[in-house]
Structure 1
């Protein structure tokens, strides 16, 4: 509470509520003070600094699964119960070692926090990854159903599965919905909800242990090929056409979104242009990643018409 007491004909003295606690505090009354015109400035100044953003968001596709080597496995075993092959376990463990080397280089206070799809092959991949880390390096793990595999329907007929995938190829991977299943557009909708949860977790520092503010936290998403491509599409606001041009991750492969100079996540901090072109990024997408590499969170790229040329053909 703030009280005004008259001092002279034109000025007042501000008496703060703590005056009643013993010490008398005064300051000059200035009706043009920004803090009085915009009280939210006082609130902002009193708020603690936001927690540091995680250094990286690392996207990992599960290791080789039984369904990757034999599509007939889906006719015998429900998709969520398809497990890893021996090679898949080896890929998961090798990926864990690569992640550890990446996040531990040049720092001592690093940790990892995992989000994992509830499917058997991703849970097994997580266990393989985890062999590279001591318990004190793992800040937490959360099973997240929204990053599960695209639902292909209840396939029991192998020939019907082959026909449906051929129809999808001609129809378009993003919009085609499998009978009793999902399209990539459906996956996009649930990934949108997950992205908002992830951003909220980043903003409030959910990954930071109590009392710590380490800038060397790393998030690892253990998921599936199409789901991870849709996640990138949603995060970077890529178009359907740009999504259709992306290639799948290798089994046990990873893609790294790392903070650049300004604090935004860019694929170009860790990866080369050649690597991203092989993944399917176009020249416009690479230009945007270059901007992301130096921009700050909340900034807009006013010097680049985001995907505009593909919409307004009269500019061509």
Structure 2
């Protein structure tokens, strides 16, 4: 099967949920007060500026198609980044964020206080395999991403594809593209905050995907838009 010529993944711009979650973590409270369901959380004003700044970088890369998570913040990011570009946008549910089940809307402190048994179980199993009740593990998310990448290679042989998703999606696409081990992925995840509207990319070479960029925010600086602060929290409790 022919490899893609180029693959990139963009994390969505800063969302109102990112801001609220950061405030809750900083204040040391147990629950994050987000009125919308996760799929309906929109971009913040800064997030919209970040998404617009992605446009010139994508224009230079000339993708054939954009595959986008169905969540509002990712669709808004893609629409703003692709404005004026002749790039079709396809929504695919397999790019949705990891589902958190009983951990939804809890801060890291909240998980420890309200669900100490789950906190202990996660510590035992590790982030890669831990599945919260009603939610997904990272391994579960990988199952849907594997099928998506296989279809992309079949439907766009030699193509140039950009994905727009979430922080966990960026890390797990890297895991798949580079054939990482669990230990290698966890080392990257522990040391990296995937910035809002960062670009990570790989180029097809010798039948494999070779790393090109990871968590790059140079395009945000170039447009005069500050990148997401490194203390911005993940889309899930740590």
Q: Shared fold by TM > 0.5?
A: yes
Aligned to 2:133: 179
Tell me, yes or no, if structure 1 residue 249 matches structure 2 residue 194.
yes
Aligned to 2:234: none
Aligned to 2:235: none
Q: Provide the C-alpha distance between the structure 1 equivalents of 2:112 and 2:80, rounded to a whole number of angstroms.
A: 31
Structure 1 residue 227: Cα displacement: 1.5
C-alpha deviations, 1:101-159, integer Å up to 9, x for none?
3x2xxxxxx4531000000110010111112x33xx32x22111011100012535666
Structure 1 residue 264: Cα displacement: 3.3
Q: Provide the C-alpha distance between the structure 2 equivalents of 1:168 and 1:252, rounded to a whole number of angstroms.
A: 32
Aligned to 2:89: 141
The correspondence of residues 1-316 of structure 1 with structure 2, limited to 5 A, is 54-71=4-21, 75-101=34-60, 103=61, 110-131=62-83, 133-134=84-85, 137-138=86-87, 140-153=88-101, 155=104, 160-161=110-111, 170-171=123-124, 172-203=126-157, 218-246=160-188, 247-260=192-205, 262=206, 264-267=208-211, 270-271=212-213
TM superposition score normalised by structure 1 = 0.55
Kindly tell me: are residues 226 and 156 of structure 1, through their superposed partners in 2, closer, same or farther at Cα, counting changes over 3 Å?
closer
Structure 1 residue 234: Cα displacement: 2.1
Contact 2:6 2:201 in 1 (8 A): yes
Query: Superposition RMSD on alpha carbons, in Å?
Result: 2.8
- How many equivalent residue pairs? 197
C-alpha deviations, 1:151-197, integer Å up to 9, x for none?
01253566645656965873422111122111111111111211211
Q: Provide the C-alpha distance between the structure 2 equivalents of 1:183 and 1:253, rounded to a whole number of angstroms.
A: 24
Segments ≥4 residues shifted beyond 6 Å: none
Q: Provide the C-alpha distance between the structure 2 equivalents of 1:243 and 1:80, rounded to a whole number of angstroms.
A: 26
Q: Provide the C-alpha distance between the structure 1 equivalents of 2:70 and 2:99, rounded to a whole number of angstroms.
A: 13
Kindly tell me: are residues 157 and 141 of structure 1, through their superposed partners in 2, closer, same or farther at Cα, counting changes over 3 Å?
closer
- Secondary structure in 2 aligned to 1:70? helix
Kindly tell me: are residues 128 and 187 of structure 1, through their superposed partners in 2, closer, same or farther at Cα, counting changes over 3 Å?
same
Kindly tell me: are residues 256 and 84 of structure 1, through their superposed partners in 2, closer, same or farther at Cα, counting changes over 3 Å?
same
Contact 1:75 1:157 in 2 (8 A): no
Contact 1:60 1:221 in 2 (8 A): yes
Indicate the structure whose relative CO is greater, using CA pairs within 8 Å and at least 6 residues apart. Answer: 2
Q: Provide the C-alpha distance between the structure 2 equivalents of 1:111 and 1:180, rounded to a whole number of angstroms.
A: 36
Kindly tell me: are residues 152 and 111 of structure 1, through their superposed partners in 2, closer, same or farther at Cα, counting changes over 3 Å?
closer
Q: Provide the C-alpha distance between the structure 2 equivalents of 1:161 and 1:124, rounded to a whole number of angstroms.
A: 30
Contact 2:63 2:162 in 1 (8 A): no
Structure 1 residue 218: Cα displacement: 2.5
Q: Provide the C-alpha distance between the structure 1 equivalents of 2:171 and 2:71, rounded to a whole number of angstroms.
A: 18
TM superposition score normalised by structure 2 = 0.72
Structure 1 residue 73: Cα displacement: 5.2
Structure 1 residue 232: Cα displacement: 1.9
Structure 2 portions without partners, runs of 5+: 22-30, 216-238
Greater CA deviation, 86-95 or 75-84?
75-84
